[in-house]
Structure 1
Amino acid sequence: MPETEPLSPSWSQRWSGYRPSKTMWFWSLVGISALTMVVGFAFGGWTTGGTAALMAEKAARDARSELVATVCVEKFVSADNASEQLAALKKTSSWERNRFIENGGWLKLTGMDKAVPGAAELCAKELVAIENLPEQSAEAVTTDG
């Protein structure tokens, strides 16, 4: 009895015999390109130029706020009546703390006319978190002249 060929070709036989058309190649490439862009922007961290500019602007704004808040904390802690002021700050409600810091003048930096948004809140948070104020060193500064 002669051997008969299988009724349906195996997967490897079909793959080796497949010859896609130019239209199929074109739409496959379009689909893969679209899928790559969707995955890249959604999950790969890709951004557009506009989004990158907004991110850079926000980072600069946050850095300014953090810098001014750090200076604010230093000014607050180095003041003569820091212990009393810290107690008063801790007694105020959380929504009044920003105004307390702004009215105290600790946010003002030389050459700045407007307050930096977010700095008062950061300064108040850092100050409220302080358990004990650092001790002031009362060393006299002398200059030879």
Structure 2
Amino acid sequence: MDSPSQLRPGLYGALIGCIVTLSIGFTVGGWYLGSTAETLANARSKVAVIEALVPICVSYQQVDPNSSGKLAELSAMKTAYEQRDFVMKAGWATMPATDAPNRELAAACASALARSAAG
């Protein structure tokens, strides 16, 4: 089957246009594959949940009978890792119906407590 000679430039143009559109769309156009979008959504929802749980962790610290001493001890710690581990050991990052503290929550809570103690 022979195609007319005028059809070939049109097909090449359509092919090049498709490639350029896809390239621009996926690089600067904000297009994502389904798997990439799901990964981004999971990461953002995890951050949102941690941010929502930080006030609960702070309230656990406030009702702790040794709150002022522990907060002073937390403020004296140099690294964020030490502060995170301290919050985990204090039990402030252990949410109801869980057996173990949440590491990401402990880090966020330690940061919030250190800011409140400093300011």
Query: Which interval holds the TM-score relative to the shorter structure?
Result: 0.7 to 0.9
- The answer to whether the aligner puts 1:62 opposite 2:47 as a matched pair is yes
Amino acid at match of 1:28: G
Q: Distance in 1 between matches of 2:74 and 2:47?
A: 23
Amino acid at match of 2:93: L
Q: What residue in structure 1 maps to residue 115 of structure 2? A: 129
**Rg comparison, structure with higher value:** 1
Amino acid at match of 1:51: T
Q: Distance in 2 between matches of 1:68 and 1:22?
A: 62
Q: What residue in structure 2 maps to residue 103 of structure 1? A: 89
Q: Distance in 2 between matches of 1:39 and 1:33?
A: 10
- Indicate which of 18, 27, 41 corresponds to 2:26: 41
- The answer to whether the aligner puts 1:92 opposite 2:77 as a matched pair is yes
1:107, 1:119 within 8 Å by CA — same for their partners in 2?
A: yes
How much has 1:131 moved relative to structure 2? 4.1
Q: Distance in 1 between matches of 2:18 and 2:57?
A: 51
Q: Give the count of matched residue pairs.
A: 114
- For structure 1, the residue ranges without an aligned partner over 5 or more in a row are 1-19, 134-145
Q: What residue in structure 2 maps to residue 50 of structure 1? A: 35
2:87, 2:93 within 8 Å by CA — same for their partners in 1?
A: yes
TM-score by length of 2: 0.84
TM-score by length of 1: 0.70
- For structure 2, the residue ranges without an aligned partner over 5 or more in a row are none
Question: Identity, % of aligned pairs?
Answer: 25
How much has 1:117 moved relative to structure 2? 3.8
